[in-house]
Amino acid sequence: MANIFVYNNQTGAMELYTLAESDAMPYNIGRTLTVNEFRGSSRANTLWTTRRAMEAFNITRRAWGRPIYVGFAFKRIWEGGHAAMSQHYAGVSFDVGQNLDSVTRDQLRNTAAATGVWTYVEPAYLTPTWVHFDARATPPACPAGGYPLVRQGSVNNYVLTLQDALNALGYTGSGLDGIFGGGTRNAVVNFQRAQGLSADGIVGCQTWERLTELAVSIGQTPTVVSP
C-alpha cells in the first residue's frame, strides 16, 4: 500500500489517499496509470502529485488512443536519479515511450505538445530516446527554471518536496504534509542560517538551489519522514 498526497489545484487543498500498487492513481480515468507505474523505481511508501498532472495525463492518453509506457515518474529527492530541481521530485513529471521506435516516439511527443495541457514538453534533441512532459508550476523562483517560490501559508506539492529535503538533511519539525506552517518556516530559517543565506523563511531561488543541491541523492537518512 502507498500513501499518496494529491495537491488539488482546483480547491487549493492537499488530499491523502491510501492505495494498492495495482490501483489507479487518484483522478486517473480508465486505470491507464496505476500507482506502481507512477512510482516507477521509487521505493518510498509516500508519494505525491497534483490533480492537474493526473488530468493532463488523462487527456494525453485519450489523445494518443493507446497505452503509454511510463519509464519514470515520481522520485523522492533523497532517492535522486534526476537533476537537483527536477519536477520528478515534485510528482508532476513523466518520462515515457522508452519502448517505442523513434518515429512513433516523435508522434507521441507531438501529441503531448498538441494537447496544450503540459507546461513543458522537452524537445527531441534533449531526450531522443524518451518523451518528457511535465505540469510544473509557474513562475519559477530562479530565472533558469525549477521550483516556484514558497513561503508560510503556501499549500502544494512543492512544499512536500521542500519538507522532504529539509527532513533528509536533519532540519526537522516541518513534518510531511504539503502545508507550509510555522514548523516548516522554522526549519527553513535554521537551514538558511546554517548555509549563510538570508534567514527570512522564504524559499526563493538561492534557498532552493542550495537545499536541492545538498538533498538530492543523499539517501534515506534517519530523519526522513514517511519514507
Any domain includes 209: no
Any domain includes 89: yes
Number of independent structural domains in the chain: 1
Any domain includes 111: yes
Instruction: Note the pLDDT of residue 37.
Output: 98
Instruction: Note the pLDDT of residue 9.
Output: 97
Quote the DSSP letter at residue 203: B
Any domain includes 80: yes
The 10s digit of each residue's pLDDT in 137-157 is: 999 999 999 999 999 999 999
Any domain includes 223: no
Return the CATH number at 53.
3.30.1380
How far is the CA of 17 from the CAs of 25, 46, 174, 181, in angstroms?
9, 10, 20, 22
Any domain includes 147: no
Instruction: Note the pLDDT of residue 74.
Output: 98
Could you tell me the pLDDT band of residue 227, with boundaries at 50, 70 and 90? confident
Q: In whole angstroms, give the CA distance from residue 154 to residue 201.
A: 12
Range of the domain at 64: 2-134
Any domain includes 98: yes
Any domain includes 102: yes
pTM of the predicted model, to two decimals?
0.96
